[in-house]
Chains A and B, each alone.
Chain A
């Protein structure tokens, strides 16, 4: 009897001890994940917007209070990013997100982070080290859908101008080939001129202006940049507006609406950083990595004239509406769309004007 009581007492004690033991574990679950974002460059609008939306997306919405985010900028050099990553690894964070200075030269350092049990996600400029996940826009889809849109607008027939981007840049070649591959399906669409737009308004406008002078009939322009430079060149030459393909900067969307040109603007959304944070939290919550190493983000196209893509069925299009997804009171270089669908980021927050 006495022994039985003792046993019961011991069991109760054990249960109590177990309860005490689990209490801190619950508290630990609620502790925010420490996540470092290592960015190697802040010299353009996109990177700054990327950093700002990263912070906004952990300050509100479903990730509020779940993440302690630290952003480290590494002065644009590989050595600085290696040293910075080494410092980050020593701080033993739960996850590191890297917008990389080099796709390969950070690999040994990234491997070190993985070996230390840290979740590593490279986004935007990704790395080749297999232990790190990659998260980037689907660069095959963007030019294909836009070239398909152009063909639909032209009814499969017409003369177009093509932007080669920046000489020697891998992304330029990829976009140009992406356009050409789809246009090749339409034998009556002819590329009558190519220029180097260099992702800046000046070269785009000058390149298009020169080609307009040489070609009396131009029915469409496929830029790799703003598109608004091409529209300005059409205006200056007194030519009718033609369908224009470009990328989803605020100024491009506004110019399309003002000029009445039909446009489609592809997006490499700056909220890739927010998506990377969300992915990191999911991995940390579940303890499971996605099966595929590379994750592709499909930002909505921004367009005056939505269409159903046959090449990529289900591709989402946002119709440009000034004030709703294009913002006359915000910076021209703002990348659209501003926010992913799981958190509400405002244009002012993304532009840093609020």
Chain B
């Protein structure tokens, strides 16, 4: 019963048991996020020329993609009802490995890229294992692994530096049909989600996040779910690290921390519940766009850049409010 109640409500099979108001309430936080994005783009477009062009889309997506990748992993963890702080350490470690190991030889770059991705998945899986086996709080476990990964990154490269090949830096400028590679990555993320959330694993993660006990009672292996959830988060964080080096051309042992809370904020703004089971990646990606575009907006409005964190905070509050109202309404209906 609980499984059916909290399962992704997109499918017609579940829709028949709900009225349209329920449908709208379920999506309220996401719709609010979309509305905010529309307003921001609208205002931005009236001050900046060429906002409604592919160039602008390419530029903004390329600026937001590191956050989007990190937030994709975070979204999966949040849907499971957890949180992953270790992505900060993984991103730092990924950039320093890339910047110290990459050479001009594409085979070397490929090898170390795969190594970083595998490492991310492995460390994430280890997070999941520790959380399940030792029955520890995800917050504490990933706080510890964040610190370990961060320290490791510092040992490899104590200050910003290293280098990546010139052609690696050109990645973000590759275009196909006028769309840059980050935009294709964005489409790939959406496609991935469209497929993933209906897979057995996707449904199980959301069900477990919604109600761990009943998921367990219906035969779900919590350990397996945790290992896969945090493994995916680690994998996406490693991807974020590799993408980030195409933007910075260098490794940084401290850069990862800048994505931990924004990845949570992007998800929450997009309507993902911190209590698990509720939300969509599309919302998170909208949230990441909002957080990135606020910076552009503050810039073109020529107001002090101190307003950027203020605006981000206000938007976060509005989103949390929308989520909370929607959740209350949803609970009201199921009662």
Q: Which chain A residues have a beta carbon within 8 Å of chain B's beta carbons?
A: 70-75, 77-80, 82-84, 86-88, 90-91, 102-109, 168, 170
Is B66 interfacial (CB-CB < 8 Å)?
A: yes
Interchain CB contact (< 8 A) of B255 among A73, A87, A105: A105
A170: which B residues are within 8 A, CB to CB?
A: 159
Chain B residues in the interface with A (C-beta under 8 A): 48, 59, 63, 66-67, 158-163, 169, 244, 247-250, 252, 255, 258-259, 292, 295-296, 299-300, 302, 304-306, 308-309
Known: A73-B305, A107-B250, A170-B159. A84 touches B258 (CB 8 A): no
> Which B residues are in CB contact (< 8 Å) with A71?
305
* Nearest Cβ on chain B to A166's Cβ, whole angstroms: 13
Quote the shortest CB–CB distance from A101 to chain B (angstroms): 9
Contacts of B59 in A (CB 8 A): 86
Taking a contact as CB atoms under 8 Å apart, the answer to whether A78 and B63 are in contact is no
Please name 10 further chain A to chain B contacts, defined as beta carbons within 8 Å, in addition to the given A84-B299, A87-B300, A105-B252, sorted by A numbering. Answer: A77-B258, A79-B66, A79-B259, A82-B63, A90-B48, A103-B161, A104-B161, A104-B162, A105-B255, A107-B250
**How many angstroms from the CA of A106 to the CA of B248 in the assembled complex?**
6
Q: How far is the CA of A52 from the CA of B247 in the complex (A)?
A: 31
Query: Given the complex of chains A and B, what is the CA–CA distance between A87 and B255 in angstroms?
Result: 21
Q: When chains A and B are docked, how far (Å) is the Cα of A142 from the Cα of B145?
A: 41
Q: Which residues of A contact B296 (CB under 8 A)?
A: 83, 87
Most chain A C-beta atoms within 10 Å of own C-beta, residue among B159, B250, B252, B255 = B250
In this complex, what residue of B is CB-closest to A91?
B299
B309/A75 in contact, CB under 8 A? yes
Contacts of B244 on A, CB cut-off 8 Å?
79
Q: Does the CB pair A105–B248 fall under 8 Å?
A: yes
Q: Check B252 against A72 for contact (C-beta < 8 Å).
A: no
Partner of A75, one of B48, B159, B162, B308: B308
Residues of B within 8 Å of A75, CB to CB, are 305, 308-309
A72 CA / B63 CA spacing, docked (Å):
17
Task: Tell which of A70, A84, A103, A168 touches B160, judged by Cβ atoms closer than 8 Å.
Answer: A103
Q: Give Cα A334 to B57, complex, Å.
A: 44
Nearest first, the 5 closest Cβ-Cβ pairs linking A and B are A105-B248, A104-B250, A77-B258, A87-B299, A102-B160
Contact A79 B258, beta carbon cutoff 8 Å: yes
In the bound complex, residues from chain B placing their C-beta under 8 Å from that of A105 are 160, 248-250, 252, 255
Chain B contacts for A91, CB-based, 8 A: 299
How far is A108 from B67 in the complex, measured between Cα atoms in Å? 19
Min CB–CB distance B218 → chain A (angstroms): 42
B305 proximity list for chain A (CB < 8 A): 71-75, 84
Task: Find chain B residues with CB under 8 A from A109 CB.
Answer: 247
With the chains together, A282 CA to B162 CA distance in Å? 33
Q: Say yes or no: A102 contacts B250, CB within 8 Å.
A: yes
15 contacts between A and B (CB under 8 A): A71-B305, A73-B304, A74-B305, A75-B309, A77-B258, A78-B252, A78-B258, A79-B244, A83-B295, A87-B300, A90-B48, A102-B255, A103-B159, A104-B163, A170-B159
Alpha-carbon gap, A103 to B255, bound state (A):
13
Given A78-B248, A104-B250, A168-B158, A73 and B306 contact (CB-CB distance below 8 Å): yes
Residue in chain B with minimal CB distance to A169: B159
- Closest-by-CB residue of A relative to B297 is A87
B255: chain A residues at CB < 8 Å are 77-79, 102, 105
Chain A residues contacting B161 (CB-CB under 8 Å) are 103-104
Set B158, B163, B248, B302: member contacting A102, Cβ < 8 A: B248
Tell me which of B63, B67, B299, B306 has the highest count of chain A C-beta atoms within 10 A of its own C-beta: B299
Q: Which residue of A lies closest to B295 (CB)?
A: A83
CA of A70 to CA of B163 in the docked complex: distance in angstroms? 31
The docked-state distance in angstroms from the alpha carbon of A4 to that of B168 is 67
Most interface-central of A86, A106, A168, A170 (chain B CB within 10 A): A86
A83 and B63 contacting across the interface, CB-CB below 8 Å: yes
Whether B159 and A108, one on each chain, are in contact in the complex, defined by CB atoms closer than 8 angstroms, is no
Q: Shortest CB–CB separation between residue A172 and chain B, in angstroms? A: 12
With A75-B308, A103-B161, A104-B161 as known contacts, state yes or no: A82 contacts B299, CB within 8 Å.
no
Determine if B308 and A82 form an interchain contact, defined as CB atoms under 8 angstroms apart: no
When distances are taken between beta carbons in the complex, the residues of chain B under 8 Å from A82 are 63, 247-248
- Given the contacts A72-B299, A84-B295, A103-B161, A108 and B248 also touching, CB distance less than 8 Å: yes
Q: Which residues of B contact A104 (CB under 8 A)?
A: 160-163, 248-250, 252
Do B249 and A107 have beta carbons less than 8 Å apart? Answer: yes
Residue of B nearest to A42 (CB): B306
The answer for the CA separation of A88 and B158 in the assembled complex, in Å, is 30
Taking each of B162, B247, B304, which has the highest tally of chain A beta carbons within 10 Å of its own beta carbon?
A: B247
Once the chains bind, are A86 and B63 in contact (CB under 8 Å)?
yes
A99–B168 CA distance with the chains assembled, in angstroms: 26
**B250: chain A residues within 8 A (beta carbon):** 102, 104-105, 107
Residues of B within 8 A of A72 (CB): 299, 305
Bound: A75/B67 CA distance, A: 16
Contact indicator A108/B247 (Cβ below 8 Å): yes
Nearest A residue to B308, CB-CB: A75
Q: Which residue of B lies closest to A73 (CB)?
A: B305
**CB-CB nearest in chain B for A79:** B258
A87 touches B248 (CB 8 A): no
- What CA separation (Å) do A338 and B160 show in the bound complex? 31
Q: B67 touches which one: A70, A78, A79, A102 (CB < 8 A)?
A: A79
Closest to A74 in B: B305
